[in-house]
Amino acid sequence: MGTLLKSAPPSAIFGLVVLVAVALTGIFAPLIAPYGETEVVGGAYQPWSAAHLLGTDNLGRDMLSRMIFGARNTVGLALLTTALAFSFGAMLGMLAALKGGWLDEVMSRMVDVLMAVPALILALMLLAIVGPSIPNMIGVIAVIYVAPVYRLARAAAMNVVDLDFVEAARLRGERTPWLLWREILPNIWSTLIAEFGVRFCFVFLFIAALSFLGIGIQPPTADWGAMVKENATLISFGDITPLIPAAAIALLTVAINLIVDWMLHRASGLKS
């Protein structure tokens, strides 16, 4: 691990530092935050001061505290959603590659339909039907992102299932679970991990966008996307405060992308 970090370029180190900082902030939010998540502490739109480092928002809540809780909510939900999409997508994708035939055909066509509609539009349509709420949003986004993960896992597994060691395992009568977990998964693991990073970024931006549009995480829960929307008025007065949550989103996404880029680069370098 130590040597691994030493070989990391500055961009990746930067990414790791940001990632760890955000994670710690999220985990220890109640300890770090000076005020409560939804606590009204003064008048609306107060400027930056010693008591309120980033001022207050449209309802007079402390911006900094909401930023800190936002790290927990926005990132945590994105992580949960991505994990859900990944577990199902990877499982089904590997299964489709291994089994082939009608199972593969049926699942792949369903995924084709899911992917034939732009993700944001599909999410909006589905959320209109089920109504906006946090569990609904997680469910809808997870379902939508199962599709690309399925495709990737299937394609990666396709390269493995035809290899001789899988055939050798079949010839000695191994069953599906063994083939999936012991033969295929270890060989597509690195691909999936890199993809997890990329997908997390998409999901994270996606949730932020939905919240910004007022259809994602609902008030009064602190969320970076929604905070931009709630305080957007300030921008027309030349105040950058509403941009801080947006910048936080951008920073975290850049950080993860830099890490993923480095990992992919390393993986391709190791191969050649």
Partner 1 sequence: MSQLQKLVIGRMFLGILTLFVVSALMFVGIELLPGDLAQQILGQSATESTLAAFRAELGLDQPPHIRYLDWLGGVLHGDFGTSLASGREVSDLLGIRLANTMFLAAYAAVIAVPVAVVLGLLAALWRNTLFDRGVNLTALSAISMPEFFVGYVLILFLSIKAGVFPTLARIDSATSLWDALYRTFLPALTLILVVVAHMMRMTRAAIINVLASPYIEMARLKGVPQWRIIVSHALPNALAPIVNVVALNLAYLIVGVVVVEVVFSYPGLGQLLVDAVSSRDFPVVQAVGLFFAAVYITLNVLADIISIVSNPRLRHGR
Partner 2 sequence: MGDLLTIRDLRLEAGNRSEPVVIIKGLDLDLDRGEVLGLVGESGAGKSSAGLATMGYVRDGVRFAGGSVVFDGTELVGLARGRLRRLHGKRIAYVAQSAAASFNPAKKLIDQYSEGPRLHRVRSRKEAERDAVALYRQMQLPDPEEIGFRYPHQVSGGQLQRAMTAMAMSCRPDLIIFDEPTTALDVTTQIEVLGAIRDIVEDYDSAAIYISHDLAVVSQMADRICVMKDGEEVETAPTRQMLDHPRQDYTRSLWSVRSFRRPEAEEAEETALIRCRTLSASYGAVPVLRGLDFAFPQGRTTAVVGESGSGKSTLARVLAGLLPPSEGEVFWRGEPMEMRLSKRRGDMLRNVQMIYQSADTSLNPRHTIREILRRPVRKFSGRRGDDLRARIDELMDLVDLDRAFLDRKPGELSGGQKQRVGIARALAAEPEFVICDEVTSALDQLVAEGILRLLVALQKDLGLTFMFITHDLAVVEAIAHEVIVLKNGRIVEQGSRDAIFKHAREDYTKRLLASVPQMDPDWLDDARRREAELRAREGDTA
Tell me which residues touch partner 2 (CB under 8 A). 163-165, 167-173, 182-183, 186-187, 189, 272
60 CB-near residues (< 8 Å, 6+ apart): 40, 41, 42, 43, 44, 46
Please identify, using beta-carbon distances, which residue of 131 and 172 lies nearer to partner 2. Answer: 172
Question: How far does CA 215 lie from the centroid of its chain?
Answer: 17
Q: Does 80 bind partner 1 (CB under 8 A)?
A: no
Q: Does 27 bind partner 1 (CB under 8 A)?
A: no
- Give CA separation, 253 vs 38, 205, 235, 256, 260, in Å: 26, 8, 23, 5, 11
Site for partner 1 in 190-229 (CB under 8 A): 201, 205, 208-209, 212-215, 225, 228-229
Length of the chain as a residue count: 272
80 CB-near residues (< 8 Å, 6+ apart): 138
E strand or H helix that includes residue 165: helix 164-171
Q: Which of 71, 161, 166, 258 binds partner 1 (CB under 8 A)?
A: 258
Q: Does 263 bind partner 1 (CB under 8 A)?
A: no
Distance CA 33, CA 28 (A): 9
Virtual torsion, Cα 84, 86, 90, 91, nearest 10 deg: -20
Please identify, using beta-carbon distances, which residue of 67 and 161 lies nearer to partner 1. Answer: 67
Please identify, using beta-carbon distances, which residue of 94 and 141 lies nearer to partner 1. Answer: 141
Q: Does 254 bind partner 1 (CB under 8 A)?
A: yes
Interacting residues with partner 1 (CB under 8 A)? 11, 112-113, 116-122, 124-129, 131-132, 201, 205, 208-209, 212-215, 225, 228-229, 232, 235-238, 240, 242-243, 246-247, 249-250, 253-254, 256-258, 261
